A and B are shown apart, each in its own frame.
Chain A
Amino acid sequence: MNPVWLKQISAVLRLEIKKSFFARRGLWIYFLALIPVLIWGGHWMVMRYKAERMHTHAQASPGVTREKLLSIKQGMTTAEVEAILGHPASSRTVTRRNGTEFKYWTYSDGTTTRNITFRDGAVQRLNTEHAACDLQEDTVIFAGIFQFFYLRLAIFFGCMFVFMNLFRGEILDRSLHYYFLAPIRRDVLVVGKYLAGLVATTVIFCLSTIAQWTIFVLHFDPINRDAYLQQNNGFSHLLSYVGVTALACLGYGSVFLAAGILIRNPLITAATVLIWESINGILPAALRQISVIYYLKSLCPVEIPMQQGVPPPVALLAVNVDNAPPIVAVLGLLALSAAVVFISTRRIKRMEINYSTDN
């Protein structure tokens, strides 16, 4: 038989999950979760369009090979080019007012496209496009979007809204007494609400992570896709990203749950936590561990290499510190979250319902 507190937690979940998922004020969380999906979706469509155009060009210029395309050099004449590659797949001629004539010819072998610009009948500029994605580069871009946008902004602000609303939102709505007048221990109430927030944010953000990864995989051509999934541990990347997403909800959720109970002004809280998380890379080792991002970064499957010329604010976010081993990172994050939730359960016992001064 279930103990009463379990039934009470399930009653709180029943009430809170609906609010967390469908709060009208929180619909922007879905948009935040959707942004990376849209980015990868857009990228996929652009790549498909490019591939289709190349295929059309290849059909219009038969006999073109990669070797022939790469043999074209600056200074060649239109006749020389036509002798090697034949009639262009597409061509355009523009004559300027000063009488200079520009010709733009396109050839493709189906995987590589060369756009050739002639000035007064001689090759002036050559531009090469490839249909296939750069596996290495795209994997790093995925990691960059995940770490810099998804973890630090989308999940951060999504959790801020959901978890701070659990108590602070109810105080603003003047409805918290509904729970405080029921025979439910306040620490049980905190756990119930926290679990409700966790379910909502984990489902929203993990589904987005899975969608991002799926589109990311689909946008590769079959060769690169196989290479990513079989040689580059694509599936283990997916597991890591989903795990990191869930742990981010757990960690940030606990922080903002406590903030909603302890602190009145959500903006000050959000700004403070955001700054603290952003400067994590330059903090002393002991302080670095009192943050969520330290553990999350340690668990991300792809390192983002620092390149020269990166603007200072981005460099600050990207500082690669000594990562914690995975088991330490997971346990550290669980311990941090448990400690913060425990503090919340202690503090809630002293909370008073005094809506007029809490507003």
Chain B
Amino acid sequence: MAAPPPIEKSLIQLNDVSKFYGEVLGVNKINLAIPPGITSLVGPNGSGKTTLMNLITGLLQPTRGSIEVCGMTPEDPETFFRNVGYCTQFDSYPKGFTGYDFVYSFLRLFGWDHAECEQRAWRAIDRVNLREAASRKIAGYSKGMRQRIRLAQAISHDPRVLILDEPLNGLDPLVRAETIALFREFSGEGRHVIISSHVLHEVDIISDQVILMSSGYIVAEGQIKGVRSEIEEHPMQVLIRCDRPQALASRIFESNNVVEAKVHGDGGGLLIKTRNADEFYLMMNRIAMNGIMVETVAPVDDDVQSLYEYLIDDGGGGGGSKS
């Protein structure tokens, strides 16, 4: 049996990393050692999550400090990107590409031959359940489909480290559950899965550990259980875009944890408040399968923002260690 890699070769290490855009702070003095498993970077918009991910993957270069991903750096892209997959938030694609082209052409850049790229592309597309749409142009995809094809690209080369920037944005409840299962499968194989999210409730469901960011700094890091009780105290507000909001409202109170529901001002959605996000999403899966066309389910930022303020002011949420 092969010996396990030395501990420093299995960590994502950031040593005193800072990034400034001229005078503007991106992130400052970040020190992290991230072990395998699902790690969530959480924080409000503008807190530096994407900057940190771009720094880890070499799309940005640190103004100060150093970064190593399992002993590799982006300065050696041939090794680094065979082991790292990054699903960015950039919602743009080479012109005229179908979903299949997008994944296949990316794999050709690895230097693999046609047969291998084709096989890997279809495998990745199947894992995100997009086979039927794979031959259609990406320009005609919905937001959720575009998110999934980016995810397929990120996992297509079977990376050891998977980095995902807001990967659940725009996904319907069913796909959301499947995607979370995929992350769990990856982390179960001893890989790194780093997910950014501004939705604490989402993180609660999927993460082994959380890094809480605010204004470019890490304000807390640790086990997820520490923030769970705080979340339960603060009902989460969710906007559900669907074809029949009134019908959905009549079904939504099946859950004891839903405390409020109102039809959105434009009549095309329903705003609800729930104390148990996990249970709520499971219920949404059932509803989506029973005749109501659910387009998107997205937490409303204002509420999340107030929860961050609460957690950050309170010193990082229970069990997390303040950095």
Identify A8's interface contact among B61, B92, B109, CB under 8 A.
Answer: B109
B111–A8 touching, CB < 8 Å: yes
Within 8 A of B (CB), among A110-159: none
- Determine the chain B residues whose CB is within 8 A of the CB of A173 once the complex forms: 92, 95
Contact A12/B94 with A4-B78, A183-B80, A183-B82 known, Cβ cut-off 8 Å? no
Question: A282 to nearest B CB, angstroms?
Answer: 40
Chain A residue with minimal CB distance to B94? Answer: A175
Q: Can you give 24 A-B contacts (C-beta < 8 A)?
A: A4-B78, A5-B111, A7-B112, A7-B113, A8-B109, A11-B108, A14-B108, A19-B94, A173-B95, A175-B90, A177-B88, A178-B106, A179-B109, A180-B58, A181-B57, A182-B77, A182-B110, A183-B109, A184-B78, A185-B78, A352-B60, A353-B59, A353-B60, A357-B21
Question: B204 to nearest A CB, angstroms?
Answer: 29
Tell whether B280 is near chain A: CB-to-CB under 8 Å: no
Chain B residue with minimal CB distance to A7? Answer: B111
Contact A11/B109 with A175-B94, A185-B77 known, Cβ cut-off 8 Å? yes
Chain A proximity mask over B50-89: 1 for CB below 8 Å, otherwise 0: 0000100111110000000000000001111110001010
Bound Cα distance A355, B95 (Å): 17
**Interface of chain A, main secondary structure:** helix
B59–A11 touching, CB < 8 Å: no
Contact A353/B105 with A19-B95, A175-B94, A183-B79 known, Cβ cut-off 8 Å? no
Tell whether A350 is near chain B: CB-to-CB under 8 Å: yes
B81–A183 touching, CB < 8 Å: yes
Q: How many residues of A contact B (CB 8 A)?
A: 29
Chain A residue with minimal CB distance to B113? Answer: A7
Tell whether A39 is near chain B: CB-to-CB under 8 Å: no
Contact A353/B86 with A182-B110, A184-B78 known, Cβ cut-off 8 Å? no
Tell whether B310 is near chain A: CB-to-CB under 8 Å: no
Question: B61 to nearest A CB, angstroms?
Answer: 6
Question: B189 to nearest A CB, angstroms?
Answer: 21
Contact A354/B58 with A15-B105, A183-B109, A183-B110 known, Cβ cut-off 8 Å? no
Tell whether B93 is near chain A: CB-to-CB under 8 Å: yes
Bound Cα distance A184, B74 (Å): 11
Measured CB to CB, the residues of A under 8 A from B are 4-5, 7-8, 11-12, 14-15, 18-19, 173-175, 177-186, 350, 352-355, 357
Q: How many residues of B contact A (CB 8 A)?
A: 29
Bound Cα distance A16, B298 (Å): 37
Contact A178/B94 with A15-B105, A183-B82, A353-B54 known, Cβ cut-off 8 Å? yes
Bound Cα distance A305, B96 (Å): 49
- Determine the chain B residues whose CB is within 8 A of the CB of A7 once the complex forms: 108, 111-113
- Determine the chain A residues whose CB is within 8 A of the CB of B106 once the complex forms: 178, 182
Bound Cα distance A181, B60 (Å): 12
Question: B102 to nearest A CB, angstroms?
Answer: 8
**7 further interface pairs, Cβ-Cβ under 8 Å (given A183-B77, A185-B78, A353-B54):** A7-B111, A11-B109, A174-B90, A175-B90, A177-B59, A180-B59, A183-B81
Question: B23 to nearest A CB, angstroms?
Answer: 12
B77–A186 touching, CB < 8 Å: yes
- Determine the chain A residues whose CB is within 8 A of the CB of B60 once the complex forms: 352-354
Contact A354/B21 with A174-B90, A177-B59 known, Cβ cut-off 8 Å? yes
- Determine the chain B residues whose CB is within 8 A of the CB of A15 once the complex forms: 94, 105, 108
Bound Cα distance A11, B105 (Å): 7
